[in-house]
Chain A
Amino acid sequence: MKTPSRILLVCAVIILAILALNFTDKLSQHPVNREGEQVRAQNFVDSTPQHDETYAAAPVNITVNFNLDIVPGSKISVLDANRLEWAEGEVLIEGTNTILKRGTRPGMPDGNYMVNYTACRADGACGDGQFKFSIDSTKLSEYQDLRGQSEVTIKMRDFKFDAAKIIISPATRVTWINEDEDGHYVNTETHPQHTYFPSQNSREIKSGETFETIFETVGQYNYHCSAHWPQMVGSIIVSR
């Protein structure tokens, strides 16, 4: 090959490489909305349910956390495999305007669900994101059925919740008592946002102290101790 031809060939390779780099750069700025993959909108932090999480019962709401203010116009949709909508009610913006939340319709059956959301920022820009979760009621066998009691106590002992997984009736008052010497916490998902069911958020519960809250709405409530996460976790399912 003559020298000029070689130079031309090298130049052509460089141009192709630059074009390819530009193309992948653009791809990373504008995520492709492929079925089943998580797509994070700008300023997305995390969500409840988390991406790819399997619940034993329906979540009471979909919560998406951001690290920048979001504004009205933001949306949340939950579709099952038949593309039926399971999100219902008003789209809520909570906390210091960083929490996007929407309730779910009662009666969600077992299966896979896709959450699509649009988060709009104060500067007018909106970004889309998606994640998926599933419901598998066979996991209910891992739970202790304590339905029919108006009050239930969960011990915090040996750095575990005892019982860690329980089913209770609506309107049950749940009390946690710390039987360890170390302080513990009871905090709703996620760690450390604690935004899914804020009534289930304690400050430090010192040795011998208690924390209580009442669960009204049917669905699943995962929680954790913020000092001993992720080892010390629990789950409550409210069911009729």
Chain B
Amino acid sequence: MGSKLSLLFILLLTLVLVGCSHEKTATTPPAQNQETQETTVQEQFENIKSPHYVSSTPINNAVLSSVPDKVTITFNFDLVSDSKITVTVNGKEVSGTTTIAQDKLSMSTNLNAAESGSYKVNYTACWPDGSCHEGSFGFLLKLQ
């Protein structure tokens, strides 16, 4: 009798734990599905801004019909080398080498991409003392 009770208890506990883990996964945003499914719902990126961020091209959550020549991010303070832009789409990195403008106020990268999808831009902006700070944004490319 005792062993039956404890078995029942373990079964209940397992059910509770499974229920809890389901609840936790249900609270995460369903962003991943949008890349694999050809859905018309656009993934909304947060525009996480590093210090001195001014603007970006494309702008955050832009919807484009052709591949942009490059991704450019503008700042209001002197960037130094080590600053970097990384662009990914459908799990692949598609950014080239990051170039810092001569006036040190912007950096850009070319894109080696030709596919529709949600493009995530992560960047690291580095300052004259060598410290670096991160930011991110994204855009949607819908090729015709």
Contact = CB atoms under 8 A, between A and B. Distances in A.
B128 A14 contact: no
A227 B79 CA distance: 11
B128 A65 contact: no
Contacts of B40: none
Given A192-B133, A204-B78, A65 B48 contact: no
B9 to A, nearest CB: 6
A203 B13 contact: no
Interface stretch (B49-57, B64-72, B88-96): B49-57
**Residue among A14, A192, A201, A229 facing the most chain B CB atoms (10 A cut-off):** A192
Interface stretch (A1-9, A137-145, A160-168): A1-9
Interface in A8-54: 8, 11, 14-15, 18, 43, 45
17 contacts: A2-B2, A4-B3, A7-B10, A8-B5, A8-B9, A15-B13, A43-B48, A68-B47, A96-B54, A183-B128, A192-B77, A192-B127, A192-B129, A192-B133, A193-B52, A204-B78, A228-B129
B21 to A, nearest CB: 11
Query: For the side of the interface on A, what is the size category?
Result: 20 to 34
A194 B75 CA distance: 13
Nearest to B13: A11
**Residue among B5, B20, B127, B131 facing the most chain A CB atoms (10 A cut-off):** B127
B10 A11 contact: yes
B52 A192 contact: yes
A229 B129 contact: yes
A7 B6 contact: yes
B12 to A, nearest CB: 9
A226 interface: yes
Given A3-B3, A96-B49, A227 B128 contact: yes
B17 A18 contact: yes
Interface residues of B, number: 27
A4 B128 contact: no
Interface of B: 2-3, 5-6, 9-10, 13, 17, 20, 46-55, 77-78, 127-129, 131, 133, 135
A192 B51 contact: yes
A153 to B, nearest CB: 23
A193 B51 contact: yes
A207 interface: no
B140 to A, nearest CB: 19
Given A4-B2, A4-B3, A192-B131, 16 more contacts: A3-B3, A7-B9, A8-B5, A8-B9, A15-B13, A18-B20, A96-B53, A98-B49, A183-B128, A185-B128, A191-B129, A192-B129, A193-B52, A194-B51, A204-B128, A227-B128
A193 B9 CA distance: 56
Nearest to A2: B2
A58 B11 CA distance: 63
Contacts of B133: 192
B116 to A, nearest CB: 26
